[in-house]
Amino acid sequence: MGPLKKLDCALALAAGGRPLKTVCEVLGVARSGVAAKQASSSDWQDGRSATPTDDAELVEEIQVRVAHLPTYGYRRIRPLLRRSRE
């Protein structure tokens, strides 16, 4: 049983009148996640694009930076890219 299935089961049981704390303990899901899902509207979307974007140019630029600076991680490469684009 995956995490989404557990969350859906917890929501259904809580909607049926079961105590949220007990349901979450038994199913092993976080109460905060179940409560947040209960509070969100049914037409909520996370805002991520449904279509994949073409990031080939960005990936190539990152690879060039990493090739010259192999010890740099994403936290150091991102500001370099941002400054070079400004």
Residue 2 scores a pLDDT above 70: no
| Domain range list for the chain | 3-39, 56-85
Rounded to the nearest 10 degrees, what angle do helices 3-15 and 20-27 cross at?
150
Lowest mean per-residue pLDDT among 35-44, 58-67, 70-79:
35-44
- Asked if 23 and 37 touch (Cβ cutoff 8 Å), the reply is no
Residue 83 scores a pLDDT above 60: yes
Kindly report whether the global pTM for this prediction surpasses the value 0.85. Answer: no
